Amino acid sequence: MKKKTLLFRLAALVILAVFIPSCSSSTIKEAKVSSKTYKDPKASVEVRVKDLLSQLTVEEKAGQMLQVERNYLSSSDIKNYGLGSLLSGGGSTPRENSPEGWIDMLEGYQKQASKTPHAIPLIYGVDAVHGHNSLLGAVIFPHNIGLGAANDKELMKEIADATSEEMLSTGITWNFAPCVAVAQDPRWGRYYESLGEDPQRVSELSGPYISEMQDKYNIAVTAKHYTADGGTKWGTGYSGGIDQGNSSISDEELRKIYLPPYENAVKNGAKTIMVSFSSINDIKCHANKHLIMDILKGEMKFKGFVVSDYNGIHQIPAKSTYDKVVTAVNSGIDMFMEADYWKQTLDSIIKAVKAGDIKQDRIDDAVSRILTVKFELGLFENPLGNKQLIKNQVASDAHKETAKKAVRESLVLLKNENSILPIKNNTKVFVSGPASNSVGLQCGGWTLDWQGNKRQPVGNTILDGFKQMASQSGGEIITDPEQATKADLSVVVIGEESYAEYEGDDASLTLDSGKALSGNMSALKFAYSLNKPTVVIMVSGRPRIVTDEIDKWNAFVEAWLPGSQGDAVAEVIYGKYGFKGKLPVTWPKDSKNLPAKANNNILFPYNFGL
């Protein structure tokens, strides 16, 4: 061999040695198709699953168990590794964020999947947690805490309908919602994702959402985060906060407070359940075999598949990725939501099956569950969902009207001295405050971006609504502070910055620190200086401490995070509609003795609302 050729070959070997390991063991090129029964839509789902499963190699099975965030893929990964699923994490949208942009993107991914030996379609998941909130122009509904206040099962169905229609217009058939957390502590950054502190209300409202979305639109839902995510203690969480922390609870509390919404979700046919980042009695839920295998799949007879939370298995305390993966699979996790470390996870599953650390039965069970959902959703026939089920366009008037109804029903009137509300005809109103004119703040986290209020959603603000209502009632809206003395009444809209997950953890809950908007107190002080009746509206994902201020307010309305149709707030303030909302949580007097109910630290009790 010529020296040059040898050198060239050596160089090629080095290059191979460097680049191949990441794609060597786990690629799926040797798989063969021996039967096509699974492709027959007339065969039963059970027969199709069995037929397909019997043809899959270990590599293909492991691929099905992987869900990868789209930003962590290179162009041929779906095909080379036979990936089972992709997701858009918070804010992960196609560059052209329109229905067409999403469809193009998904078509590209599904095309790659169709080139794998068995052409198994991907299942694509997003967090459409208050409407299809990743899509620019979508109607954004109030976050769950507001829907807990509205407490209207029919409304939950209408929201599920509108969200499904908007999702299907982008080709997406898996929603990481509803969050069925039973939240106990308002310092938690995910408090607003909860329908309230009472498991019964959480179950009663999430049930209709689940069945509507799945049965009518064939979109898989996810009940999350399994479980007791709402019971964690301050100081045990991420960076010393509360999110992803530990719930110290007895078996009785677990069964009484945190399991009922899952029992109900399973009864309603929930196709997937997401495991919580948090721990129960210091055991990470992702490593809790008793919780997943014995209780969820055993006692509750859950037949769908269990998905881990984003990179969640990497928080399992073990010395290597291999050990974490083995623990997670053997604890009952079927699909792995992964970003940075997906290839290691995939390789670990394959190696562990070959080494006998994971039994063949276990991955067969995991893959059967995943394939069952894919067949049930009709993805082999319609990889982008059933288009015939879309009745309205994105952001149709009907969807906006549903959102307005949700806003109106969610408002809770907490104080109303001398019946100052509703605002009478011909009133001059000075509207101020840092949350009075921002669709982004009204929507909060999980809106276009993970933390929200960056790319601006389309919608109407609370101030827009005041202007509409004033023009209908002979009144006037003043926003210029220099003209404020001419007003009969002052309305101050205070609020919180947008946040999601641990970034929203807030120990103080005051009106001027933590996640409170910096302009809250100056707006309030200016309003006090006018010596006029003062109405305060709060835009927030949780109660904030108002104990020292509320005596200076003539009326107080909690508006939660109303979403894109914030103008509907004014329709209730002006009396076009009555107040209906009731607190889905206990409103604390101070932020020290929490949870409020257990510590008798109550300013307004659960279910209060005038």
Binding site for ligand BGC (CB under 6 A): 87, 89-90, 127, 176, 224, 309-310, 501
Nearer to ligand BGC, 151 or 278 (CB): 278
Give the nearest distance from C-beta 166 to ligand BGC in angstroms. 18
Give the nearest distance from C-beta 312 to ligand BGC in angstroms. 8
With CA atoms as reference, report the closest residue to 335 among 67, 545, 121, 30.
Answer: 67
Which listed residue (409, 496, 501, 567) is catalytic? 501
Longest dimension (CA), the chain: 100
Instruction: For residue 610, give both structure tokens.
Output: 């005038």
With CA atoms as reference, report the closest residue to 268 among 179, 204, 173, 175.
Answer: 204
Residue 51 known to be catalytic: no
Whether the CB-CB separation of 142 and 560 falls below 8 Å is answered with: yes
Give the nearest distance from C-beta 210 to ligand BGC in angstroms. 16
Give the nearest distance from C-beta 337 to ligand BGC in angstroms. 6
Nearer to ligand BGC, 226 or 310 (CB): 310
Nearer to ligand BGC, 193 or 212 (CB): 193
Nearer to ligand BGC, 94 or 581 (CB): 94
> What is the Cα–Cα distance from 297 to 270, expressed in whole angstroms?
13
CB atoms within 10 A of CB 6: 10
Give the nearest distance from C-beta 98 to ligand BGC in angstroms. 21
Which residue type sits at 580? K
> Residue 476 is inside which H or E element, if any?
strand 476-478
Nearer to ligand BGC, 84 or 89 (CB): 89
> What is the Cα–Cα distance from 556 to 544, expressed in whole angstroms?
12
Give the nearest distance from C-beta 501 to ligand BGC in angstroms. 6
Which residue type sits at 23? C
Nearer to ligand BGC, 296 or 538 (CB): 296
> What is the Cα–Cα distance from 75 to 173, expressed in whole angstroms?
22
- The residues facing 478 across adjacent strands are 430
- The residues facing 64 across adjacent strands are none
Q: Is 494 helix (H, G, I), strand (E, B) or coil?
A: strand
Give the nearest distance from C-beta 88 to ligand BGC in angstroms. 7
Q: Is 30 helix (H, G, I), strand (E, B) or coil?
A: coil
Please give the full DSSP string across 515-564, using - where no structure is assigned.
TB-TTHHHHHHHHHHTTS-EEEEEE-SS----TTTGGG-SEEEE-----S
Give the nearest distance from C-beta 476 to ligand BGC in angstroms. 44
Residue 501 known to be catalytic: yes
- CB-nearest residue to ligand BGC: 176
Q: State the sign of the Cα–Cα–Cα–Cα dihedral 73, 74, 78, 83.
A: negative
| Residue that is written with structure tokens 């003395």 in the block | 485
Give the nearest distance from C-beta 224 to ligand BGC in angstroms. 6
Nearer to ligand BGC, 307 or 329 (CB): 307
Instruction: For residue 94, give both structure tokens.
Output: 């196609």
Whether the CB-CB separation of 104 and 86 falls below 8 Å is answered with: no
Q: What are the E-state strand segments in 313-456?
A: 336-338, 412-416, 428-432
Q: Is 430 helix (H, G, I), strand (E, B) or coil?
A: strand
Give the nearest distance from C-beta 541 to ligand BGC in angstroms. 15
How many helices (H) does the chain have, and how many strands (E)? 20, 19
Burial annotation 307-329 (CB, 10 A radius, 16+ → b, else e)? bbbbbbbbbbebeebbebbbbbb
With CA atoms as reference, report the closest residue to 561 among 512, 493, 476.
Answer: 493
Instruction: For residue 349, give both structure tokens.
Output: 């599953």
> What is the Cα–Cα distance from 57 to 361, expressed in whole angstroms?
13
Nearer to ligand BGC, 50 or 70 (CB): 70
Nearer to ligand BGC, 27 or 315 (CB): 315
Nearer to ligand BGC, 77 or 243 (CB): 243
Give the nearest distance from C-beta 277 to ligand BGC in angstroms. 6
Distances (CA, A) of 255 to 196, 212, 262, 301: 17, 26, 10, 16
Nearer to ligand BGC, 79 or 132 (CB): 132
| Residue that is written with structure tokens 């001295």 in the block | 417
Distances (CA, A) of 88 to 69, 106, 131, 174, 221: 6, 11, 15, 11, 15
Which listed residue (59, 165, 243, 309) is catalytic? 309
Instruction: For residue 539, give both structure tokens.
Output: 């835009």
Give the nearest distance from C-beta 470 to ligand BGC in angstroms. 40
Which residue type sits at 495? G
Q: State the sign of the Cα–Cα–Cα–Cα dihedral 259, 265, 271, 277.
A: negative
Q: Is 373 helix (H, G, I), strand (E, B) or coil?
A: helix
Nearer to ligand BGC, 176 or 560 (CB): 176
Catalytically annotated residues:
309, 501
